[in-house]
Amino acid sequence: MFDIYGGPVFNMARQQFLQAADILEIPNDQRDRLLYPKRAIAVTCPIHRDDGSTVVYEGYRVQHHLSLGPSKGGVRFSPHVDLGEVAALSLWMSWKCALMNLPYGGAKGGVRVDPYSLSHKELEALSRRFMQELIPFVGPHVDVMAPDIGTNEQVMAWFMDTYSNDAGRTVTEIVTGKPVSCGGTAGRREATGRGVTHLIFRASEEIKLNLSQSSAVIQGFGNVGSVVASELYDLGVKILAISDHTAAYHDPKGLNIPEILKYIATHGVLKGYSTEALIDPATILTIKCDILVPAAVERVITEEIANKIECKILAEAANGPTTVEADAVFAKRPDIFIIPDILCNSGGVTVSYFEWVQDLQQFFWEEEEVINRMTKIMDKGFYETISSAKQLKTTNRMAATCAGLRRVHLAKQARGLFP
């Protein structure tokens, strides 16, 4: 059924869904409605390149369900985007939003493009065209986009401006993750990384790890990874290794994160920062450390890597970093405390929810209020997950997925979708 959602990433999300549906004993005839997205939109985005040529990029937006409210989720600009990947990410958004009790269904979007290959002008043209094509299918009460890999506050500002120009008025609530200067909330840019760090702190309490004497390895140094690195560094954690798509560095004495952040601010990527600390990026996930943070892309922790990982806390800042086969290995490794992706990186969408609420009310909060409310919601999700994992005798990932799926199932049932 629905062969359009092919590929390893969707297959992985489907397998996780089926495992959770088995635990929850969801009848077979109700599963397809919960698994397959409500709708998927494919668009072509033509732009003029700076050299005068015309190029067409493929774009997608997948809205998984609308049963709890508008659909919500980021948009990524990446050369790896395809419909299956975007659909898988929309499922994970659904379980994430429901786990955190946010009034949203899941969605995700993407354009198949290497954003690093575009000029500022070309990036603006592509961002505006993507939103233009999606105007008939999105809205503040239908589907609300946000940043993800390869997009940022500036791209969100262009999305908002394009939608607003069409509406003939400013509609700040159409996207989240915007600059504070045009309707964004204080604390959204840092929210995902800050939330990851908060849950690392909670996990360290559970396993009695002294953070100020611990070490960390972080894969991915973008919006999420760089904030985690900076926050952990400030807590006294030794950052042994970091990487992005251009370079990986390892220093057993600990990397100087403030200096690296300054380098990134001018150079954009890690390449060129150091020659002495340079390592093969393929080795980064198996460096011995206390806290391992994949903060880049999906499916980097394979069965082989899972067997070699030497950490105490695996904080999944990225979406879908761990394959189903690797999860089977971790199920037999109670030495590793896993904070599963849909819980670990939920600070981003939680603060996006706050941004949407503030935009709808045109009443804005102080950053302190944003952080306090975010940590409260994340703590609830964290303790619910670990206690339900114990009760159901399952992994933290399955406990979190079941909590999200159960809420979506109950909402659909109450609305009469199932007998």
- Quickly list H helices, 63-115: 83-99
C-beta of 85: minimal distance to ligand NAI in Å? 10
Smallest CA-to-CA distance from 396 within 311, 316, 295 is with 316
Position 72 contacts ligand AKG (CB under 6 A): yes
Nearer to ligand NAI, 178 or 409 (CB): 178
Contact predicate 95/342, CB 8 Å: yes
Position 219 contacts ligand AKG (CB under 6 A): no
Q: Is 108 a catalytic residue?
A: yes
Which of the stretches 246-254, 255-263, 343-351, 363-371 binds ligand AKG when contact is defined by CB under 6 A? 343-351
Q: Residue 309's binding partner, choosing from ligand AKG, ligand NAI, none, with beta-carbon cut-off 5 to 8 A by kind?
A: none
Position 250 contacts ligand AKG (CB under 6 A): no
Which of 84, 348, 381, 404 binds ligand AKG (CB under 6 A)? It is 348
Q: Residue 297's binding partner, choosing from ligand AKG, ligand NAI, none, with beta-carbon cut-off 5 to 8 A by kind?
A: ligand NAI
d(CA 195, CA 190): 8
φ and ψ at residue 299, rounded to 5 degrees: 55, 35
Position 74 contacts ligand AKG (CB under 6 A): yes
Within 10 A of 105 (CB to CB), how many other CB atoms are there?
26
Q: Residue 176's binding partner, choosing from ligand NAI, ligand AKG, none, with beta-carbon cut-off 5 to 8 A by kind?
A: ligand AKG
C-beta of 291: minimal distance to ligand NAI in Å? 16
Task: Give the contact letters, 151-190, x = binds to ligand AKG (CB under 6 A), - = no.
Answer: -------------------------xx-------------
**Phi-psi category of 362—alpha, beta or left, where left has phi over 0 and alpha has psi -120 to 50?**
left
Q: Residue 85's binding partner, choosing from ligand NAI, ligand AKG, none, with beta-carbon cut-off 5 to 8 A by kind?
A: none
What is the DSSP secondary-structure string of 34-59? HHS-SEEEEEEEEEE-TTS-EEEEEE
Binding residues for NAD(+): 192, 223
Which of 67, 151, 185, 352 binds ligand AKG (CB under 6 A)? It is 352
Position 319 contacts ligand AKG (CB under 6 A): yes
Binding residues for ligand NAI (CB under 6 A): 74, 147-150, 192, 219-225, 243-245, 281, 295-297, 317-319, 345, 348
Smallest CA-to-CA distance from 409 within 17, 30, 121, 136 is with 30
Q: Residue 318's binding partner, choosing from ligand AKG, ligand NAI, none, with beta-carbon cut-off 5 to 8 A by kind?
A: ligand NAI
- Quickly list H helices, 31-187: 31-35, 83-99, 120-134, 153-167
Contacts of 11 (CB under 8 A, 6+ apart): 84
φ and ψ at residue 41, rounded to 5 degrees: -115, 130
Identify residue 57 by its one-letter amino acid code: Y
d(CA 16, CA 21): 9
φ and ψ at residue 112, rounded to 5 degrees: -80, 90
Which of 37, 73, 84, 183 binds ligand AKG (CB under 6 A)? It is 73
Q: Which residues are catalytic?
A: 108
- Which residue ranges make up the site for ligand AKG (CB under 6 A)? 72-74, 93, 96, 146, 148, 176-177, 319, 345, 348-349, 352
